Amino acid sequence: MIQKPSIPKGTRDFSPKQMIRRNYIFDSIRAVFQKYGYLPIDTPAMENLTTLMGKYGEEGDRLIFKILNSGDFLKKTETADLQSSDLNKLTTMICEKGLRYDLTVPFARYVVQNKNDITFPFKRYQIQPVWRADKPQKGRYREFYQCDVDVIGSNSLINEVELVLIIDEVFEKLGIETIIKISNRKILTGIAEIIGEPGKIIDITVAIDKLEKIGLEKVNEELAQKGLSEQAIEKLQPILNLKGILRVKFPKLQEILADSKIGMQGIEELMSVLIHLKELNLKNKWSFDLTLARGLDYYTGAIIEVVAKDMVMGSLCGGGRYDDLTGIFGLPDISGVGISFGADRIYDVLNELNLFPEDSSLTSKVMFVNFGKEEEKLCLKLIKEIRKAGISTELYPDHAKMKKQMKYADQKSIPNVVLIGEEEMKSEMYTLKNMITGEQQKVNLEELISILSKHN
């Protein structure tokens, strides 16, 4: 029986046209990364589960694709294990590898493993796919590419500033208008401290994040549901009600956080970054956004998120500072900061807003029509010379009807066609047809090459 082929949920094939466009995104981003002095690395698609688990929060652990051990994967299990409902325990017995969930954790692992060969601060970029067992929907895929830049082994806030410059430059280059949102986890930590609920940072940040979406009342409800005391919620109100421009917000925040050392430090760090940005005349809009609360557990300082101005789509880029990601792997006191561009979402935005450049230059410049055996032989010789001149050239491989060959050239948007039949073979003057204007002329090889090199 013939089965209809398909691909796993949330994955996609990419056509040549799509790949050309995807490569345009990757090339643009890579060029900017290199301009800022970052160097490339690659890491394996799969990592040991011990490397991945516990780094992304409870939700993250659930979304990691686990790989079944090869061979007799049940050999470590007892019947009781299989029947028990403790899936986590069972998972550790039958899987020891997983597909990487992001590029930051594998990078931290890489740094620890190669610490002796790395000169710090280490600036690296990495463009590779990651996998998440999420339910697919708009702008959300189970396999997607991240383009990461991170610098590890430097506490300087200049790194944060430079990352924002990279963001600004990438999106300017791609022609997407964005809003770069910036905050600092320490401020949120400080807030949690001040209201007397230091253990509830995550719940508080998630709730604050929803402020715009669901409103103050619902946020308060949710906080109560998460077990925050009435007093704590009361204390939080002035913070949730903070409005206005930076000059107004900051003094108020400073007032509220005066007793929190970490909170004050967060404000100071943030200010330092923002003051730099103000001097640097960014093309994209940027702002301090307290409601910005990135979910990943490991962020400790700056938090950055970028959204498109003209389209509703999740974040196109996100990141922040992580003070101790390498500590878990045995290399403490090394701070890193980095961001990640979501290439697939950027693709969707460029596509939707019609911002992809014309990509005509990527098909062959000229196609030779195939008239038969003798003609083929001559064509191959001529084509060799033309390719030597750096011109993409193809010969139609089959001795098909002229109409079919012309149609092929037309559909591939090949701008020139050369016809060599009996007559042309004799005279060594070849018929060159311009497919855009429809004009034809007789030329020799030299003229042919010179004409084709012109319309580059």
Partner RNA sequence: GUGGGUGUAGCUCAGUUGGUUAGAGUACUAGAUUGUGGUUCUAGGUGUCGCCGGUUCAACUCCGGUCAUCCACCCCA
Site of interaction with RNA (CB under 7 A) = 4, 6, 8-10, 57, 59-60, 102, 132, 134-142, 144, 146, 206, 209-210, 213-214, 293-296, 305-306, 312, 314-318, 340, 342, 344-345, 401-404, 406-407, 409-411, 417, 419, 421-424, 431, 433, 435-436, 438, 440
Shortest Å distance, C-beta 254 to RNA: 27
Q: Which is nearer to RNA, 271 or 435 (CB)?
A: 435
Q: Which is nearer to RNA, 123 or 433 (CB)?
A: 433
Shortest Å distance, C-beta 210 to RNA: 5
Give the chain's radius of gyration (CA, Å): 29
Beta bridge partners of 4: none
- Give exposure, 252-263, as e/b (b: 16+ Cβ within 10 Å): ebeebbeebebb
Q: Which is nearer to RNA, 397 or 438 (CB)?
A: 438
Beta bridge partners of 434: 416
Shortest Å distance, C-beta 256 to RNA: 24
Q: Which is nearer to RNA, 179 or 246 (CB)?
A: 179
Shortest Å distance, C-beta 221 to RNA: 13
Q: Which is nearer to RNA, 19 or 402 (CB)?
A: 402
The DSSP symbol for 69 reads P
Angle at the Cα of 303 from the Cα atoms of 299 and 306, rounded to 5 degrees: 130
Q: Which of 434, 450, 410, 386 is nearest to 419 (CA)?
A: 434
Are the C-beta atoms of 299 and 160 separated by less than 8 Å? Answer: no
Distances (CA, A) of 431 to 288, 311, 371: 64, 49, 13
Shortest Å distance, C-beta 336 to RNA: 14
Distance CA 233, CA 221 (A): 10
Token pair of 15, please?
């056509």
Q: How many residues does the chain have?
A: 456
Shortest Å distance, C-beta 268 to RNA: 25
- The residue type found at 68 is L
Q: Name residue, tokens 């010789």.
A: 381
Q: Which is nearer to RNA, 53 or 256 (CB)?
A: 53
Shortest Å distance, C-beta 8 to RNA: 7
Task: Tell how strand 285-288 and strand 393-395 pair up.
Answer: unpaired
Shortest Å distance, C-beta 37 to RNA: 23
Shortest Å distance, C-beta 447 to RNA: 16
Tell me the helix, strand and coil percentages in the chain, rounded to 5.
45, 20, 35
Task: Tell how strand 122-131 and strand 178-184 pair up.
Answer: unpaired
Distance CA 242, CA 153 (A): 35
Beta bridge partners of 33: none
Q: Which is nearer to RNA, 139 or 263 (CB)?
A: 139
Are the C-beta atoms of 108 and 323 separated by less than 8 Å? Answer: no
Q: Which is nearer to RNA, 275 or 402 (CB)?
A: 402
Distance CA 434, CA 202 (A): 64
Q: Which is nearer to RNA, 188 or 316 (CB)?
A: 316
